């Protein structure tokens, strides 16, 4: 088992944040904070009503985060990663740096982008546990999609292909799936329950389970997003050993 150097991971994380993701990340946090600041008064600061806006902002944030993280496809595909990997940093540490600079930092900054406007505009809202519920669901989706993006980017080693794959996963495949389910239900006379539709959609957007009353579906959504994220972290760290540049 190789020893892990935290210094090397943090040095590479710093570099990714300062030079690759930094500006886009700051822009994204400001954009989502401002949008949240605009939406909050519209919802009348009702914790229940903020659910919809938080999920909407979560989808925007996740989409932008996914686009940013395809940057690793560029690094590995063009050979830029070689310039770092010839230094005393292992492939696993390099991957760990991307995990910290990507999903981890994006997750923390997402929570900040949601909670800071609420804290500024209506501090009372932040004390109510119900406001954290959508954050937990959307954070799960953000982490899951961000990690999946990293994995696909490493596999495809091409930014354009990685972007296409992620957009397909987030929008094209679920839309086609729902269309096929709709055609099946109308031509075969099958009744497809709302729960089934939600579970199907949650494969691509786990946060949608928040709108479902069935607690089993909600638990499924959380387990799928957080469990899937944990599995993807393990897979990425294992797969990183196979990176060749």
Partner 1 sequence: MIEFRNVVKTYGSGKRRVTALQGASFIVPSGALAGFLGPNGSGKTTSLKLMVGLLRRDSGEVSVKGLDPEREEREVKALTGFLPERPVYPLSVRVEDFLRHVARLRRVPWSDVRRIARLVGIDKYLDKPIKAMSRGYLQRLGLAQTLLSQPEILLLDEPTANLDPIARMEMLELIATLKRDLGATVIISSHILPELQLVIDYAVFIHRGVVIDYGRLDELSAKYGAVTIYEVKTSREPRRVAQQLIGLEHVKGVLIKDDNTLEVHVDSRASTEVHHVLDELVSEGLVLSYEAKSSYLDQLYRRAVETAG
Q: Nearest-5° angle of CA 149, CA 33, CA 50?
A: 90
- Given candidates 85, 139, 147, 150, which one binds partner 1 under the rule CB under 8 A? 85
Task: Choose the stretch contacting partner 1; rule: CB under 8 A; options: 14-22, 146-154, 183-191, 211-219.
Answer: 14-22
Q: Please list every residue from 202 through 231 that binds partner 1, using CB under 8 A.
A: none
234 sits in which H/E element: helix 228-240
Cβ 95 to partner 1 shortest distance, Å: 13
Cβ(37)–Cβ(117) below 8 Å: yes
Task: Give the residue from 31, 95, 38, 36 showing the smallest Cα distance to 63.
Answer: 31
Cβ 85 to partner 1 shortest distance, Å: 6
158 binds partner 1 (CB under 8 A): no
87 binds partner 1 (CB under 8 A): yes
- Given candidates 11, 116, 196, 237, which one binds partner 1 under the rule CB under 8 A? 11
Q: Tell me, by CB under 8 A, how many residues bind partner 1.
A: 29
Contacts of 105 (CB under 8 A, 6+ apart): 17, 21, 25
6 binds partner 1 (CB under 8 A): no
Cβ(148)–Cβ(165) below 8 Å: no
20 binds partner 1 (CB under 8 A): yes
- Given candidates 61, 72, 91, 212, which one binds partner 1 under the rule CB under 8 A? 91
Q: What is the DSSP letter of 80?
A: H
Cβ(52)–Cβ(210) below 8 Å: no
For the chain, how big is the Rg over CA atoms in Å? 19
Distance CA(202)–CA(231), nearest Å, equals 17
5 binds partner 1 (CB under 8 A): yes
Cβ 100 to partner 1 shortest distance, Å: 15
Q: Which residues bind partner 1 (CB under 8 A)?
A: 2-3, 5, 7-8, 11-12, 14-15, 18-20, 78-80, 82-91, 93, 242, 244-245
């Amino acid at each position: 088992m190789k020893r892990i150097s935290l210094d090397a991971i943090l040095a590479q994380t710093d570099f990714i944040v300062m030079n690759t993701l930094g500006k886009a990340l700051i822009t994204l946090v400001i954009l989502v904070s401002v949008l949240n600041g605009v939406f909050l008064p519209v919802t009348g600061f009702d914790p229940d009503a903020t659910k919809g806006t938080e999920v909407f902002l979560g989808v925007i944030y996740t989409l932008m985060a996914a686009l940013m993280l395809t940057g690793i496809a560029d690094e590995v595909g063009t050979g830029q990663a070689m310039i770092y990997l010839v230094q005393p940093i292992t492939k696993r540490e390099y991957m760990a740096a991307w995990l910290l600079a990507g999903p981890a930092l994006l997750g923390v900054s997402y929570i900040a982008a949601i909670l800071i406007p609420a804290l500024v505009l209506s501090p009372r809202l932040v004390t109510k546990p119900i406001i954290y519920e959508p954050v937990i669901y959307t954070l799960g989706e953000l982490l899951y999609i961000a990690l999946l993006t990293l994995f696909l980017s490493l596999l495809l080693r091409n930014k354009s292909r990685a972007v296409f794959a992620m957009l397909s996963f987030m929008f094209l495949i679920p839309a086609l799936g729902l269309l096929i389910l709709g055609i099946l239900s109308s031509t075969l006379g099958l009744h497809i329950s709302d729960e089934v539709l939600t579970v199907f959609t949650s494969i691509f957007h786990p946060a949608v389970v928040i709108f479902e009353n069935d607690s089993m579906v909600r638990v499924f959504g959380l387990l799928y997003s957080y469990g899937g994220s944990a599995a993807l972290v393990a897979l990425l760290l294992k797969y990183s050993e196979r990176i060749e540049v």
